[in-house]
A and B are shown apart, each in its own frame.
Chain A
Amino acid sequence: MLYREAGDYKTSYAKDNQTFPIKFDRVAYYVLLLVAFCVVPFVINDYWASAVLVPFLIYVIAALGLNILIGYCGQLSLGTGGFMAVGAYSAYKLMTSFPDVSIIIHILIAGVITALVGMLFGLPSLRIKGFYLAVATLASQFFLIWLFNRVPWFYNYSASGTINAPERTVFGVNVTGPNVDAWAQYMICLVFVVGCAWFVRNLTRGTLGRSWMAIRDMDIAAEIIGVNPLKAKLSAFGLSSFFIGIAGALLFTVYLGAVEGGEAFGISKSFLVLFMVIIGGLGSILGSFLGAAFMVLMPVLLKNVLVGNLGWPTDVSAHFEFVIVGALIMAFLIFEPHGLAQLWRLAKEKLRLWPFPH
């Protein structure tokens, strides 16, 4: 009864086009934001921040970024790990070169640098498509990691080649480094996530988003009706990489603190984010959240249940995590190829009709 458009009169075009047309959704969204901003920071502890929420929020940004490229613009990319590394190393270079500038600005600039690199590697997308493009972006993954390992300038000539995030503050509160509080770590990621999600949502329903979707659905038709593929594809690569760069910068500065290029941003990272996008739902903002939640939280949850509650040996449980997560991925893809977001969409349809489905 509660979940109805009926009775909720839209009196302007803006209202008619809002993201949450149903009042219940709208209220739920504001309540969620309220809880995330005003309740969670007060109850969060180190474990929840470092092991669960911070990685979840960071991967949400990465998944949002990749979703622009794959979900909205239809360009398959396997270079996510490399682009995250660009974000992380730019943030490192900026942090160490300009210690007085705010870290927020550094992270944003790191995103811009990644966007430029992403556009550079997006150039082949103008000539090649599908799997061939995937291979081209795969090359960028290996090239970028090789570059960061090969050129000592990127890691300030440190003997080991690892980069370490120095301590930085926002409004006088530590957000990086070892003495950071759980809530501060969480809050900076949350602010970035909310900002990015809001930005992506509005991008994707504007002109740019529509041109991406036109390219995705049929590029020749899109070109005929006047969508410029150069502009659409490169802007998708650029914006996608911008968010992925931010995610990489946050992953390095806020979450891990010390990073070794090849280990933290290897090919497995590219696949992880790709799976998030596919499982969450291609072309869906909510899907990015659900996919990241699934891929980040599921292993942690399983580990806690299997080792903590059932007392299994750690290696057996680690193997079973792979089996269970793998089986769930297959099950989801068989029963709902459009991802978790589609499940939610179907649930919403059912809710609208409930309790009189006929």
Chain B
Amino acid sequence: MKLKLATMAVAAVMAAAPVMADLVFPALSYRTGPYAANGIPFADGYADYFTLLNERDGGIGGEMTKLMECETGYNTEKGVECYEATKGSNPLVYQPLSTGITYQLIPKMTADDIPMHTMGYGRTSAKNGEVFRNIFNYPANYWDGASGAVNHVLDVEGGDIKGKKITLIYHNSAYGKEPIRTLEELSKKHGFELKVIPVDHPGQEQKSQWLQIRREKPDYVFMWGWGVMNSVAIQEAANIKFPMDHFIGIWWSGSENDVIPAGAGANGYKSLTFHGVGSDYPVYADIQKYVVDAGKAAGAGDQLGTVLYNRGLYAAMLAAEAVKTAQGIHGTAAINAVQMRDGMAALEITAAKMAAAGLPEFGPEFKVSCQNHGGNGFVGVAQWDAAAGKWNSVSDYVQSDQDVIGALVAEDSAAYAAENNITPGCN
């Protein structure tokens, strides 16, 4: 039995060996499992952008792209399997879209010298490129998010939030715990009172947490949630008549999936963002023409224009721009993972580049360097309009508090470097 299984698996792996010489982008997606509702639009957007590049431009720099999708179901063990299955086919960059898998892969990918891009998630201190040579988290990370939320509150309150009460409701996991340190530092700096309330996975039951919030009457509630926890929290907030415009979620708590279930009650809910919302961008005309109408859309093709689809699109766009940068640096179209890393480390996103990609003013301008893998930390705010059923941008991209975050990044990355015997430096 075991032998037979093994031989069949060998045959299967052999037969699955992919064709070389394309620009390979593995997509560790999750279209199944507890977070599928969020995984699907991201995966679709990521896939559709590469399909668009192939169909419209003939790939990147004349080299076709190839997407290798592998289903993780948001499960770390499957993520490892996916990584091992795809790493042999010269992948350029991994985007696991899961904090657990990210932590898992950081040391492995550093050892294998393959870059990873964790856009707006993952380990925040990976911003320090001298320690995390292969890990990138531009254009913004969780600590930028935490600071961005505080900045928005400062903005609303006219600059003084001393004595205000802010409560963080978070997913009780590595992901949800990320902003706590930063918020603690910021509360010292700005003098607001911070309370943190954990919600255990999956977060379908939050009555006690919201009872606590109702009792303590915080001025603002921040949320670090994912999956079903988001919609439940928004529903509960609506139930206790919490003012929705004082309820601010991280960008992973700000998709249509999260607000629609609460109906009109979710009106005014705010979410941080580091990219544009809606489908009012020229690239969508091209996607419609080359991808959707050609019947090549990924998945069911019904996610266009949603927040997470846009994020997938943005991730793919940044990857493609990094490939172009790498091609420019190394003078070859068929780049490998090491060259891709150089491209990512030298990436500069300008307004002109975004416009050329059909996404004008979609995200903040930023520049990556060998020391700074995290961009400049510009964070915007979007607000949900329940009647119109869409997100509206209500704040420009504002830079996060780099003094506070810089110190925390240095501290955390130094600890990681010491634990893993890494000598920080730029080669």
Q: Which residues of A contact B (CB under 8 A)?
A: 46-47, 50-52, 55, 146, 149, 159-162, 164, 166-167, 177-179, 255-260, 262-264, 266, 289-290, 293, 297-298, 300-301, 303-305, 307-309, 313-315, 317-319, 340
B305 at the interface (CB under 8 A from A): no
Establish whether residues B2 and A55, one from each chain, have CB atoms under 8 Å apart when the complex forms.
no
Q: Which residues of B contact A (CB under 8 A)?
A: 1-2, 5-6, 8-9, 12-13, 15-16, 29, 31-32, 36, 40, 69-71, 73, 76-77, 80-81, 83-85, 87-88, 99-100, 103-104, 106-108, 110-112, 123, 172-175, 177-178, 180-181, 200-201, 299, 412, 419-421
Given contacts A50-B84, A305-B12, are A257 and B107 in contact (CB under 8 A)?
yes
By beta carbon, the residue of chain A nearest B8 is A301
Establish whether residues A262 and B177, one from each chain, have CB atoms under 8 Å apart when the complex forms.
no
Q: In the complex, what residues of B have CB within 8 A of residue A162's CB? A: 100, 103, 174
Given contacts A260-B100, A293-B5, 11 further A-B contacts (CB under 8 A): A47-B88, A50-B80, A162-B100, A259-B76, A262-B173, A263-B201, A289-B2, A305-B8, A307-B70, A314-B70, A317-B71
CA distance A277 to B200 in the complex (A): 29
Say which residue of A47, A179, A262, A264 sits within 8 Å of B84 (CB atoms). Answer: A47
Establish whether residues B84 and A46, one from each chain, have CB atoms under 8 Å apart when the complex forms.
yes
Q: List 27 A-B contacts (CB under 8 A).
A: A47-B85, A50-B84, A51-B85, A55-B77, A159-B180, A159-B181, A160-B103, A160-B175, A160-B178, A161-B173, A166-B420, A178-B107, A178-B110, A256-B80, A259-B76, A264-B76, A266-B201, A289-B2, A290-B1, A290-B2, A297-B6, A298-B5, A301-B9, A301-B12, A314-B31, A315-B32, A319-B32
Q: In the complex, what residues of A have CB within 8 A of residue B84's CB? A: 46-47, 50-51
Q: In the complex, what residues of B have CB within 8 A of residue A305's CB? A: 8, 12
Establish whether residues B80 and A258, one from each chain, have CB atoms under 8 Å apart when the complex forms.
no
Establish whether residues B107 and A159, one from each chain, have CB atoms under 8 Å apart when the complex forms.
no
Q: In the complex, what residues of B have CB within 8 A of residue A309's CB? A: 12, 15-16
CA distance A316 to B15 in the complex (A): 20
Establish whether residues A260 and B73, one from each chain, have CB atoms under 8 Å apart when the complex forms.
no
CA distance A46 to B89 in the complex (A): 13
Say which residue of A46, A317, A318 sits within 8 Å of B87 (CB atoms). Answer: A46
Establish whether residues A161 and B76, one from each chain, have CB atoms under 8 Å apart when the complex forms.
no
Establish whether residues A178 and B5, one from each chain, have CB atoms under 8 Å apart when the complex forms.
no
Say how far B229's CB is from chain A's closest CB, in angstroms.
13
Q: In the complex, what residues of B have CB within 8 A of residue A161's CB? A: 173-174, 177
Say which residue of B5, B13, B40, B174 sits within 8 Å of A160 (CB atoms). Answer: B174
CA distance A119 to B162 in the complex (A): 52
Q: In the complex, what residues of A have CB within 8 A of residue B87's CB? A: 46
Given contacts A178-B107, A258-B107, A315-B71, are A293 and B173 in contact (CB under 8 A)?
no
What secondary structure prevails in chain B residues at the interface with A?
Answer: helix
Establish whether residues B5 and A297, one from each chain, have CB atoms under 8 Å apart when the complex forms.
yes
CA distance A47 to B112 in the complex (A): 13
CA distance A160 to B102 in the complex (A): 12
Q: In the complex, what residues of B have CB within 8 A of residue A166's CB? A: 419-420
Establish whether residues A303 and B107, one from each chain, have CB atoms under 8 Å apart when the complex forms.
no
CA distance A163 to B200 in the complex (A): 18
By beta carbon, the residue of chain B nearest A296 is B77
What secondary structure prevails in chain A residues at the interface with B?
Answer: helix
By beta carbon, the residue of chain A nearest B108 is A178
Q: In the complex, what residues of A have CB within 8 A of residue B76's CB? A: 256, 259-260, 263-264
Say how far B82's CB is from chain A's closest CB, in angstroms.
9
Establish whether residues B16 and A307, one from each chain, have CB atoms under 8 Å apart when the complex forms.
yes
CA distance A63 to B369 in the complex (A): 49
Q: In the complex, what residues of B have CB within 8 A of residue A160's CB? A: 99, 103, 123, 174-175, 177-178
Establish whether residues A318 and B31, one from each chain, have CB atoms under 8 Å apart when the complex forms.
yes
Top 9 A-B pairs ranked by shortest CB distance?
A: A308-B16, A315-B31, A304-B12, A178-B107, A178-B111, A160-B174, A314-B71, A51-B81, A258-B103
Q: In the complex, what residues of B have CB within 8 A of residue A297's CB? A: 2, 5-6, 9
- Residue in A55, A160, A259 whose Cβ sees the most chain B Cβ within 10 Å: A160
Say how far A324's CB is from chain B's closest CB, in angstroms.
14
CA distance A253 to B166 in the complex (A): 38
By beta carbon, the residue of chain A nearest B15 is A309
Q: In the complex, what residues of B have CB within 8 A of residue A46's CB? A: 84, 87-88
Q: In the complex, what residues of B have CB within 8 A of residue A308's CB? A: 12-13, 15-16
Say how far A35's CB is from chain B's closest CB, in angstroms.
10
Q: In the complex, what residues of B have CB within 8 A of residue A313's CB? A: 69
Q: In the complex, what residues of B have CB within 8 A of residue A314's CB? A: 29, 31, 69-71
Q: In the complex, what residues of B have CB within 8 A of residue A47's CB? A: 13, 84-85, 88
CA distance A52 to B70 in the complex (A): 16
Say how far A104's CB is from chain B's closest CB, in angstroms.
21
Establish whether residues B73 and A318, one from each chain, have CB atoms under 8 Å apart when the complex forms.
yes
By beta carbon, the residue of chain A nearest B300 is A315
Say how far A197's CB is from chain B's closest CB, in angstroms.
14
Establish whether residues B100 and A300, one from each chain, have CB atoms under 8 Å apart when the complex forms.
no
By beta carbon, the residue of chain B nearest A146 is B200
Q: In the complex, what residues of B have CB within 8 A of residue A264's CB? A: 76-77, 100
- Residue in B5, B13, B76 whose Cβ sees the most chain A Cβ within 10 Å: B13
Say which residue of B16, B77, B178 sits within 8 Å of A256 (CB atoms). Answer: B77
Q: In the complex, what residues of B have CB within 8 A of residue A298's CB? A: 5
Say how far A230's CB is from chain B's closest CB, in angstroms.
35
Say which residue of B1, B16, B71, B180 sits within 8 Å of A318 (CB atoms). Answer: B71
Establish whether residues A159 and B103, one from each chain, have CB atoms under 8 Å apart when the complex forms.
no
Q: In the complex, what residues of A have CB within 8 A of residue B111's CB? A: 178-179
CA distance A52 to B84 in the complex (A): 10
Q: In the complex, what residues of B have CB within 8 A of residue A260's CB? A: 76, 99-100, 103, 173-174
CA distance A319 to B31 in the complex (A): 9
By beta carbon, the residue of chain B nearest A49 is B84
Q: In the complex, what residues of A have CB within 8 A of residue B201's CB? A: 262-263, 266
CA distance A259 to B173 in the complex (A): 11
Say which residue of A50, A164, A178 sits within 8 Å of B81 (CB atoms). Answer: A50
CA distance A257 to B31 in the complex (A): 25
Q: In the complex, what residues of B have CB within 8 A of residue A266's CB? A: 201
Q: In the complex, what residues of A have CB within 8 A of residue B12's CB? A: 301, 304-305, 308-309
CA distance A162 to B104 in the complex (A): 10
Q: In the complex, what residues of B have CB within 8 A of residue A301's CB? A: 5, 8-9, 12
By beta carbon, the residue of chain B nearest A266 is B201
- Residue in B6, B36, B85, B106 whose Cβ sees the most chain A Cβ within 10 Å: B85
Given contacts A166-B420, A301-B12, A304-B13, are A258 and B2 in contact (CB under 8 A)?
no
